[in-house]
Every structure is written in structure tokens, then in C-alpha cells.
Structure 1
Amino acid sequence: MAEIVRLSSEELLGCAKELAAVLVDTVASGASVGFTGSIDLAEATAWWEGLAPDVADGALAVWAARSGDRIVGTVQLRQGRMPTHRHRAEVAKLMVERAARGIGVGRALLATAEAAAADAGSTLLVLDTETGSAAERLYAATGWTRVGTIPDFAADPAGVLRPTTYYYKSLA
């Protein structure tokens, strides 16, 4: 099983290229995580590096799943920052490279983010995912509640507009 570690901003910068490789592989597999199929390693690395300030100030937590000397997956948790949002957090960018799928890495990353949110005092988690995706099956299997679907919400890696489904999980 992969070892899951929370990354500091410095660690994030140090492994941005490895995280970028996971992002590029995830997009190449057809997953809708906010990027088109034209994303390359340099663009993906720059995107990860751009998250370092949010990690440094605590607005964003990032975990990496390592198998041996490679990063094979990642997940993010964004805490609510407004006074009326501090009880909730958003799970985002849960990604597992194709070679590591189906062995529990995604489930372990999700459980790690959920536990960290609870430890930080969050009582509600939210997320969205492409309707009909493998991720949707994971969220349903791990106790998340489906709220609803929005048609044509985001383009998939090929640029086709797809619906997204929102989920929540109560930690109270």
C-alpha cells in the first residue's frame, strides 16, 4: 500500500514535477479534473508550484501517496475561510495514476482528507466530480451523499461539456 504524507509548501515545490506527472496521466486517462488533454508536464508543474502560497498559509492542504520512490496519487483539502464557512471544507483533485488504480490508493487518500478535516474542526465536506466517473463510485461507496447534477458543467479533457455531480459528507 502507498504511504500518504501531507506536503509542506517546500515539499510541494520539491515534488511538483512528480505531482505533475500524476496530473498529466490522470487527464490522459480521460478524468475531468479541470484540465484539457493538451496539458503537458511543464504546464502541470507550474500549476502545482502555483499552489505553494495557499499551502504555506494553510488555505490548502495537499497529500501525496508514495509507492516506493514514486508519487502515485494526491488529494487536496480546502478549508472554508469566510466566517460562515469555517465548519466546512472542500475535497478536490483526488487523482491516482492509472498504474496504481484499483488497489485502494484513492480510498486511502480520501480517508486521509476526511480525517484531517475532522481534526481541523470541519463538520461538513463537499466535492464535485464528473457524473458517471469511477470517482463517483468511490464516493458512493465511502458514505458520501449525492446532492444533484448540473448539466454541461465542465469540459472533459477532450473539450466535451459533461455534467458534474455534487456530494457532501457530514462529519458531525
Structure 2
Amino acid sequence: MRDSAPGLADLLLDAVRGGASLGFPATLTTAEASAWWRARADAVEGGHLLVWATGAPGAFTGTVSLALAELPNSRHRAEVAKLMVHHAARGRGLGRHLLALVEAAALRAGRTLLVLDTETGSAAERLYRAAGWTPLGSIPDYATDPAGTLRPTTVYYKHLFTTGT
């Protein structure tokens, strides 16, 4: 994870500069993005955060993370986070592929309920709806976009079922 931080930072910068609301301002620097990814390494090593990336170090085309709930009463669920597709790789089904990847991994980890949130009206929201995610509702002024404008966020969930159920 730490070794992949520079390449993942480039992907994060591409997404933020493209207007994706991922929690970072448009002024995000390469050093800040790399530091953010390196800070995730302990959670990855501890097994609480699973991260997938497509492409190759230095040329990642997409990534997605799965944060596994740790409390005893919530070990059946997880949160999908930071789904990003490089602008040059969009429109080829990579986002849907990453979602399918994370959903299959969640099932293998015994997680049958997934949650996520995304900026209301974003391209990501269209992807989640097309992939069978259920919108729970929107929260006004939840987070700022990269330009600093408050935007609403829609919360989604998806029940996963094992084969044969």
C-alpha cells in the first residue's frame, strides 16, 4: 500500500481535478494525496480496509475501497469508499467492474449489507443506481465539492445474497 501511494495519489488528483467530490479541495497537492493514501496503510495491514486498484503502479486507471465494520453487532456490513476511475478510462465499464469486484469480496468476507454515499446528481450516482443500489435519501449541504461549494449527498445501500438464496 505504501509503495502504491504515489500512483494512487495521481489517480486521486485526476478525480478531484475532474470535480469528483471525494472529500478533498481542488488545491490538493501530490504530497497531500500521497500522504492520505499512506495513512490508509495501517488499516489495510490490519485487515479493516480492503483496497483494489486497476492498471499498474504509476498508471492506475481505477480504485475502490471497502471499509469493514468492526463492532460485534455490525460485522455483516461494510462501506464502499473512494471509487475512482481515471478520466481517460471512463465509459468502458471500469466503474461497474470495480463495484462487482468489491461486492464479491464483501460476500467472501461475510458482509451482506453494503453502504456508500455520493454527491447527489453526480455521474457516480447514475452508476450506483444502474448497478442495483437503493437510494436511502439525501442530506442537504453534506460536503463541499472540490471548489468549496456545499453539495447534497445521497446515501445508498445494497443487500448482497449468496448464490442459492
**TM-score > 0.5, shorter chain as reference:** yes
2:83 to 66, 85, 94: 94
Q: Give the CA deviation at 1:161.
A: 0.3
CA distance in 2, matches of 1:78, 1:155: 22
1:147 equivalenced with 2:150 (yes/no):
no
TM-score by length of 2: 0.95
Is 1:137 the equivalent of 2:126? yes
Identity %: 59
Match of 1:42 among 18, 31, 55: 31
Aligned to 2:114: 125
Q: Secondary structure at the match of 1:84?
A: helix
| Alignment partner, residue 58 of structure 1 | 47
Counterpart code for 1:23: L
1:120 deviates by 0.5
Report the CA distance between 1:69 and its aligned residue. Answer: 6.8
> CA separation in 2, counterparts of 1:143 and 1:106?
13
AA matched with 1:126:
V
- RMSD across aligned positions (CA): 1.2
Deviation string 1:25-79 (CA, Å, 9 cap, x unpaired) is: 1000001001000001111000000000000000100000116972111000001
Q: CA deviation at 1:109?
A: 0.8
Q: Deviations over 1:90-135 (max 9, x none)?
A: 0000001111111111111111000000111011000000000000
Q: 1:78 to 1:156 in 2, by over 3 A?
A: same
Distance 1:38 1:67 in 2: 25
Segments of structure 1 that go 5 or more residues without pairing to the other structure are 1-11
Q: Secondary structure of 2:111's partner?
A: coil
- 2:18 match: 29
